Amino acid sequence: MSARREALLWAAQRASAALLALCVVVHLATMIYAVHSGLSAAQILERTRGNAVWLGFYSVFLLAVVLLKESQIKQQLREAGEQAARGLVGGEVQVQRVRRQGGGQGAAAGGVAAYAHEGCLRYTVFVGPIVCWGYWLGYSLVQAVIALIFG
């Protein structure tokens, strides 16, 4: 891969990460405002349903997530190909990954999903994102049920 292409991919990844961070801040600020204002889920839906601004915002939010994850998956595939070409397998790959992260696996953010992703890497790079999504979905559903129960 050329240095120019790699620089462009790096810039795109950083730009999508910055956009995602901004979207997360706006989303959290909106949720905090809604909770402090005492809005119920029905009132929030009433205010946001059919609103083109919120549709646009969450579309940009989703696009930032997709772009960031897509670039990360490409990087993982590229690294996997390089490691296979060098003959690295199993434990050697894990040791290199831990060294890149600056210590143990706890040095990287992500909690249980990150540990599950690291554990699934020996099978394929595609299992990890699916497992992470599964943990996220379970967590989100639990939060939604708690919000419905306690209002």
117: its two tokens: 């992703």
Q: What is the number of other CB atoms lying within 10 angstroms of the CB of residue 102?
A: 8
Per-residue CA distances from 30 to 12, 20, 136 (Å): 27, 15, 20
64: its two tokens: 């930032």
Q: Is the pLDDT of residue 106 over 50?
A: no
Could you tell me the pLDDT band of residue 104, with boundaries at 50, 70 and 90?
A: very low
Report the mean per-residue pLDDT for the chain: 74
* Cβ 114 vs Cβ 107: under 8 Å: no
Could you tell me what percent of the chain has a pLDDT over 90? 5
